[in-house]
A and B are shown apart, each in its own frame.
Chain A
């Protein structure tokens, strides 16, 4: 693939980039080449250095060594703004938009249409609407961005970057919070852009997506370049070996038979439970040692169901029972008191305390549960932190590191550890594998099964239907904020779930456009 002497210089050329954070060598002599019109996947485990490479190339972090060239010319952007000026538009891994501004202002911040020094608000909204329409989104662009779901925010961030019409578009895990339909729209747009000669860097842990969209793959491991290949000629197992540096143990999926879980005790049950304008009343039984999957499109009421079950949102009808006894779940505290745990989908806003260390984050919920007058001894804390760092393979394996300095996927694992440490009876996981690499992904799925065998009851939300099928004993399908179908045993497969989601074609089209 090295350029023959007569060919034009590649669109983006990164040579010998190194970057250390103190003693952590996040990148060592990494090379990366992106051609015009190419969709190039940048892959690697959690903490491999993907996001760091992107931030170094776009000038968010200063680099220690190396060169970056665009069309053969050296560039050294010193801020995200300068990178955009040099022709690189980026959606960073953390959705980087401003929840207090309107959707339209977010899309056009610092580049609003102007007349005589005045922002043309009407024109800006019109363009914002048109831009989002390309992504199948029809929303009120004058409303604050923070009033919309993570997915809408993510689409907005992508739309903004695409509209910067740069020569290079970098997307760091853009699909993590999108559902299938939105991913397809995004891929359509990426293909169009590539056709126009724009080079696209795509980071993802979804290998299916990588194979679907990318032309070429570059793999990083522990901050070093492992290699660059043509996607078409790289078998999946070989790719995984490149990423992990070892073989992946196959996950076996074994499911309890229908009769088996009938016999189990009910851990928590919800009868006619719901809230007006939030989720239609539903019946749900969660048994010990059982995984219930919640499937459905974004906005179908999955997260809402989870919040009601945990007590993060107050139900206005129905009855909840824990181990058969009626209970009132009015606040997250009530949920915790009854032995529930909830791992939310928005880790940045709802969970992780970036300034605290890994250890402090892990013991947070356990400490809250015990109450402030019964502090955990430092020795216990260390022991708990060490156990979960090992169990979930959190890297770097240093419990005293501030969580904010971990890579995105490792932060997700810390959040999971926090709830596991409380030894809950019911654990609600909202998109537990989002942003987690293939190796850890398999680990987490294995862990979910193990926890079940210990009698834990799990309610898991996931957009990954394959994943849900792998670990669920029962699957509840939601549509338009109502529970529409429950599948159990042999009936659980991707096809049936899709059929249930799409049972009413009109509803799907409507959802997709909303």
Chain B
């Protein structure tokens, strides 16, 4: 008996929370609200998917918020000022952000530095660079933006599944498949178990580290593009502190902050819980939006305590010793 998987607990919390909200505000239980929730949190879902890989591998990526900010500014300037076709601008920012992540991964591995420090430096670097590009908000008027914003799948009940929500869902599903079904995914867990051991077992630890941070930054770049669609602008101060919301979503989703365990689906549920709290506060109308932070904080505490409990349970020896296993 190993207890419920943490992601299942997150799912139960989400369903219970949703039911409680729906009792108070029956309108919440509509595809319209759910559609908006997915749209509002699309960028968060995308970065959190990348962060899940990083945290499971035993690392952390504090630079994602800044990379999102940089990406919005870069895309806005590239399209509006430098006259790049939007698609080219998108490809350029994806290449840039991937290279940035790869560089952080390489530094972490080669100099054996704590990811916390390296990505903290990355955070300042990316944020600084976006200020260098522009300190003002740059509105994007390119026609693609309105086309994309107007497009949405209609859901029964009048809800709209927007393009960016679809992108997010696709990335979450893709991320889950990558993590749970591929060799790359297995190696991510291996690194989180122990880097030294993974290396003795033949995992190319250096390459893996580079790839994992590359993935995280790449997804932050995509989240930046999505964010620019969401706000139709690029602004160097956008997504400040998003790295912390992201980490919170990952942890609430049942991923162990010390690495080695977790799931993308759990992270997605964690994102939805944060979105649900925000939605509740919007519906209530009287509460300050800072209550989102407080509620998130309380949930974080609860989940970390819960995980410690589960870990302690799993550590108990002899739950399955050779003799007992039949």
In the complex, the answer to whether B322 meets A148 with C-beta atoms within 8 Å is yes
Known A-B contacts A110-B202, A117-B182; the reply to A149 vs B322 at CB < 8 A is: yes
Chain B residues closer than 8 Å to A510, beta-carbon distance: 326
Known A-B contacts A98-B194, A118-B181; the reply to A304 vs B318 at CB < 8 A is: yes
In the complex, the answer to whether A118 meets B197 with C-beta atoms within 8 Å is no
In the complex, the answer to whether A151 meets B200 with C-beta atoms within 8 Å is no
Known A-B contacts A100-B261, A146-B314, A149-B317; the reply to A109 vs B326 at CB < 8 A is: no
Chain B residues closer than 8 Å to A80, beta-carbon distance: 199-202
Answer yes or no: A99 CB below 8 A from chain B CBs: yes
Contact with B along A133-156 (1 / 0, CB 8 A): 000011110011011110110000
Answer yes or no: B189 CB below 8 A from chain A CBs: yes
Q: Pick the contact of A118: B182, B314, B318 (CB < 8 A).
A: B182
Chain A residues closer than 8 Å to B203, beta-carbon distance: 81, 109-110
Known A-B contacts A146-B314, A514-B323, A514-B326; the reply to A96 vs B193 at CB < 8 A is: no
Residues of A177-216 at the interface with B, using a CB-CB cut-off of 8 Å, are none
Residues of B270-326 at the interface with A, using a CB-CB cut-off of 8 Å, are 314-315, 317-326
Chain A residues closer than 8 Å to B261, beta-carbon distance: 100
In the complex, the answer to whether B190 meets A98 with C-beta atoms within 8 Å is yes
Answer yes or no: B2 CB below 8 A from chain A CBs: yes
Chain A residues closer than 8 Å to B183, beta-carbon distance: 110, 112, 114, 119
Smallest distance from the beta carbon of A177 to chain B beta carbons, Å? 11
Answer yes or no: A384 CB below 8 A from chain B CBs: no
Q: Which residue of A lies closest to B325 (CB)?
A: A139
Chain A residues closer than 8 Å to B326, beta-carbon distance: 138, 510, 513-514
In the complex, the answer to whether B187 meets A119 with C-beta atoms within 8 Å is no
In the complex, the answer to whether A299 meets B322 with C-beta atoms within 8 Å is yes
Chain A residues closer than 8 Å to B59, beta-carbon distance: none
Smallest distance from the beta carbon of B55 to chain A beta carbons, Å? 13
Number of residue pairs A-B, CB distance < 8 angstroms: 126
Q: Pick the contact of B190: A101, A140, A299 (CB < 8 A).
A: A101
Chain B residues closer than 8 Å to A147, beta-carbon distance: 2, 314, 319-320
Answer yes or no: B253 CB below 8 A from chain A CBs: no
- Count A interface residues, CB 8 Å: 51
Smallest distance from the beta carbon of B240 to chain A beta carbons, Å? 34
Chain A residues closer than 8 Å to B314, beta-carbon distance: 144, 146-147
Smallest distance from the beta carbon of A327 to chain B beta carbons, Å? 23
In the complex, the answer to whether B192 meets A109 with C-beta atoms within 8 Å is no
How many angstroms between the C-alpha atoms of A194 and B192 in the bound complex?
A: 36
Smallest distance from the beta carbon of B36 to chain A beta carbons, Å? 35
Q: Which residue of B lies closest to A110 (CB)?
A: B202
Answer yes or no: B79 CB below 8 A from chain A CBs: no
Q: Which residue of B lies closest to A92 (CB)?
A: B200
In the complex, the answer to whether A110 meets B187 with C-beta atoms within 8 Å is yes
- Count B interface residues, CB 8 Å: 34
Q: Which residue of A lies closest to B177 (CB)?
A: A118
Q: Which residue of A lies closest to B202 (CB)?
A: A81
Chain A residues closer than 8 Å to B324, beta-carbon distance: 299, 481, 514
How many angstroms between the C-alpha atoms of A299 and B325 in the bound complex?
A: 9
Residues of B192-214 at the interface with A, using a CB-CB cut-off of 8 Å, are 192-194, 197-204
Chain A residues closer than 8 Å to B317, beta-carbon distance: 149, 303, 307
How many angstroms between the C-alpha atoms of A303 and B318 in the bound complex?
A: 9
Answer yes or no: A480 CB below 8 A from chain B CBs: yes
In the complex, the answer to whether A514 meets B202 with C-beta atoms within 8 Å is no
Chain B residues closer than 8 Å to A121, beta-carbon distance: 181
Most-contacted residue by chain B among A106, A112, A149, A278 (CB, 10 A): A149
Smallest distance from the beta carbon of A56 to chain B beta carbons, Å? 14
Contact with A along B145-182 (1 / 0, CB 8 A): 00000000000000000000000000000000000011
In the complex, the answer to whether B201 meets A96 with C-beta atoms within 8 Å is yes
Answer yes or no: B17 CB below 8 A from chain A CBs: no
How many angstroms between the C-alpha atoms of A476 and B325 in the bound complex?
A: 23
How many angstroms between the C-alpha atoms of A362 and B317 in the bound complex?
A: 25
Most-contacted residue by chain A among B198, B202, B320 (CB, 10 A): B202
Q: Pick the contact of B193: A98, A481, A514 (CB < 8 A).
A: A98
Answer yes or no: B186 CB below 8 A from chain A CBs: yes
Answer yes or no: A297 CB below 8 A from chain B CBs: yes
In the complex, the answer to whether A299 meets B321 with C-beta atoms within 8 Å is yes
Chain B residues closer than 8 Å to A92, beta-carbon distance: 200
Q: Which residue of B lies closest to A298 (CB)?
A: B322
Q: Which residue of A lies closest to B197 (CB)?
A: A96
Answer yes or no: A300 CB below 8 A from chain B CBs: yes
In the complex, the answer to whether B323 meets A481 with C-beta atoms within 8 Å is yes
How many angstroms between the C-alpha atoms of A151 and B318 in the bound complex?
A: 12
Answer yes or no: B139 CB below 8 A from chain A CBs: no
Answer yes or no: B260 CB below 8 A from chain A CBs: yes
25 contacts between A and B (CB under 8 A): A60-B200, A80-B199, A81-B199, A96-B201, A98-B190, A98-B194, A98-B197, A100-B192, A110-B190, A119-B186, A137-B322, A139-B322, A143-B320, A144-B314, A147-B314, A148-B320, A148-B321, A148-B325, A152-B322, A152-B325, A299-B321, A299-B322, A300-B323, A511-B322, A514-B324
B residues near A (Cβ < 8 Å) are 2, 181-183, 185-187, 189-190, 192-194, 197-204, 260-261, 314-315, 317-326
Other A-B pairs beyond A110-B190, A121-B181, A298-B321, 12, CB < 8 Å = A80-B201, A80-B202, A100-B260, A101-B193, A109-B202, A117-B182, A143-B320, A147-B314, A147-B319, A299-B323, A307-B317, A480-B323
